[in-house]
Amino acid sequence: MQTAPNQLAFNVLESLLDAARSFTLDVAGTPVSVTVTRGVAPSWPAGGFDGVTPRGSTPPPVLAECVWPGGKAVLSVGYFRENVERYRGDVCLMVTSPARWLVVVNIKAAIDRAIESASLLRSAPVDGHHDWLIDGHQRLAMVLA
């Protein structure tokens, strides 16, 4: 049975958040220490995520405290329910600082585009062969699982 794209997006984002670990990186010769913790799990959004099994809350966001000599920033990475009419109810990843939204990525829309692209590839013969690509949705689910 295939997983609905929005449920798959939810599962992918949950796995990404669960995999977050503290690390140090070098930015233009400056060491930046990133300490990862988990925030408080927010309530399930009003209206929910289309096609996603409801829960009491979304998984807690990842809080990334980034510290470098002379500076510090705290970022939050978590779920966002898209509200723009065309994408309403889609699962998105959102990165925020305390003062503003920094990045919103509609994961469900990206999965939909990948599925559509795979369908187009399946319909185009390559050297006369149609069977070189398995069903795009199944392949995407295997790659992201």
Q: Give the pLDDT score at 142.
A: 44
Residue 116 has pLDDT above 90, yes or no: no
The yes-or-no verdict on residue 133 having pLDDT over 70 is: no
Residues near 35 by beta carbon (within 8 Å), at least 6 away in sequence? 22, 64, 65, 67
Q: Quick one: pLDDT at residue 72?
A: 97
Q: For residue 99, give every residue at least 6 positions away whose Cβ sits within 8 Å of its Cβ, in sequence order, or none.
A: none
